């Protein structure tokens, strides 16, 4: 069980971004592309879990001094370093094997190389993050954001789909909102966390203002995507604009959660709020109905 805990399976929810290009392009019923995305999702889940092992090995010393992270399997000694190294190598290796052998030949597409470069970039960025980049203000947040962007780019690469620039901007702005919110709440709890040096270089006002600036941009970019002429032409209707009020409500509910007693981690915020989970599920269902059943 300790190995499953270290894999942080609940964080696989982030990898659902890999489906974004396929769903928003109206090609969800394309079996060839759907198979690619499913294999890509599995591949990225294994790779990201392997990275958690690597990062926790590198952060073990600091984690032992953290009030909550000290209970992580590697920091607590439940998983020995040698075993953690082997598990990380197996997970990352298995993820790449799925990427290379089971995704239906992205080598035949113009974006082939990105199907391999992006996972490698994800690994390199996260290792660099743990080795010290996390201590550089702004850059630490940018690396967190890059993790989200890599996922959506990877999903586009393995399906050979080009998605709207407005949608990319929506993901970028929302990722900055999530990352800034995480840092903001970590700063609020700084008295109990002396292990994250970068927090002393931020102020709550700076994080708060930029967080809500990015939230505003997220809603604007999403609304522009929903009414963009290319979006209307692709779906033959303007129905996606109907989802804008629901997105606004979801953002309000999420903001209410992180303004409360939360560490700001996006996954933890969502899975601990059943109402927010239902709202996100309702949004997903509404999008599928509008884009596929009412075309």
205 and 110 within one domain:
no
Does pLDDT of 106 surpass 50? no
94 and 3 within one domain:
yes
Compare 20 and 232 and report the one with higher pLDDT.
20
Confidence bin at 145 (pLDDT 50/70/90):
very high
Q: Residues 131-143, buried b or exposed e (16+ Cβ, 10 A)?
A: eebbeebeebbbb
282 and 235 within one domain:
yes
139 and 8 within one domain:
yes
Backbone φ, ψ for residue 162 (5° rounding)? -100, 120
- What would the mean pLDDT of 236-249 be, rounded to a whole number? 85
| Two structure tokens written together for 135 | 């201590």
- What would the mean pLDDT of 116-132 be, rounded to a whole number? 91
Q: What is the pLDDT of residue 24?
A: 86
43 and 122 within one domain:
yes
Residue at a domain's end among 141, 163, 185? 163
Helix 204-227 crosses helix 165-188 at what angle (to 10 degrees)?
160
152 and 24 within one domain:
yes
281 and 180 within one domain:
yes
Confidence bin at 239 (pLDDT 50/70/90):
confident
| Contact of 14 with 147, CB cutoff 8 Å | yes
Q: What is the pLDDT of residue 108?
A: 53
Does pLDDT of 160 surpass 90? no
Least trusted range by pLDDT, from 94-103, 189-198, 222-231, 285-294 = 189-198
Q: How many CA atoms lie within 13 A of 269 on its CB side?
A: 24
Q: What percent of the chain has pLDDT over 70?
A: 93
Q: What percent of the chain has pLDDT over 90?
A: 55
Q: Other C-beta atoms within 10 Å of 19: how many?
A: 20
The range of the structural domain enclosing residue 287 comes to 164-295
- What would the mean pLDDT of 40-47 be, rounded to a whole number? 94
Residue at a domain's end among 121, 143, 163? 163
7 and 105 within one domain:
yes
Number of domains in the chain: 2
134 and 8 within one domain:
yes
What pTM was estimated for this model as a whole?
A: 0.91
Cα 255 from Cα 251, distance rounded (Å): 6
Q: What is the pLDDT of residue 233?
A: 77
| 75-88 per-position pLDDT tens digit | 888 999 999 999 99
Q: What is the CATH number of the domain that holds 85?
A: 1.10.357.140
**Sign (positive/negative) of CA torsion 204, 205, 209, 212?**
positive
Does pLDDT of 294 surpass 90? no
The whole-chain average pLDDT of the chain stands at: 88
Does pLDDT of 53 surpass 90? yes
């Amino acid at each position: 069980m300790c190995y499953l805990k270290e894999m942080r399976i609940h964080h696989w929810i982030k990898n659902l971004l890999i489906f974004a290009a396929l769903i928003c392009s109206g090609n969800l019923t394309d079996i060839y592309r759907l198979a690619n995305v499913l294999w890509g999702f599995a591949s990225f889940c294994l790779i990201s879990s392997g990275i958690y092992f690597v990062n926790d090995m590198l952060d073990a010393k600091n984690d032992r001094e953290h009030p909550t992270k000290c209970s992580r399997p590697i920091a607590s000694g439940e998983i020995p370093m040698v075993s953690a190294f082997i598990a990380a190598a197996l997970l990352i290796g298995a993820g790449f094997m799925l990427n290379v052998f089971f995704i239906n030949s992205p080598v035949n597409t113009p974006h082939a190389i990105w199907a391999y470069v992006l996972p490698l970039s994800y690994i390199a960025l996260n290792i660099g993050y743990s080795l010290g980049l996390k201590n550089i203000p702004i850059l630490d947040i940018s690396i967190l954001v890059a993790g989200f962007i890599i996922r959506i780019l990877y999903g586009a690469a393995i399906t050979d789909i080009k998605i709207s620039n407005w949608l990319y901007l929506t993901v970028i702005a929302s990722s900055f909102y999530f990352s800034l919110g995480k840092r903001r709440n970590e700063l609020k709890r700084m008295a109990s966390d002396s292990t994250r040096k970068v927090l002393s270089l931020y102020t709550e006002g700076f994080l708060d203002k930029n967080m809500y600036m990015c939230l505003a941009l997220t809603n604007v970019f999403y609304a522009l995507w929903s009414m963009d002429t290319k979006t209307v032409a692709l779906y033959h209707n303007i129905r996606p604009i109907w989802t804008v009020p629901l997105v606004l409500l979801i953002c309000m509910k999420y903001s209410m959660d992180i303004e409360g007693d939360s560490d700001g981690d996006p996954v933890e915020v969502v899975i601990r709020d059943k109402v927010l989970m239902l709202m996100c599920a309702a949004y997903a269902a509404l999008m599928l109905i509008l884009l596929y059943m009412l075309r």
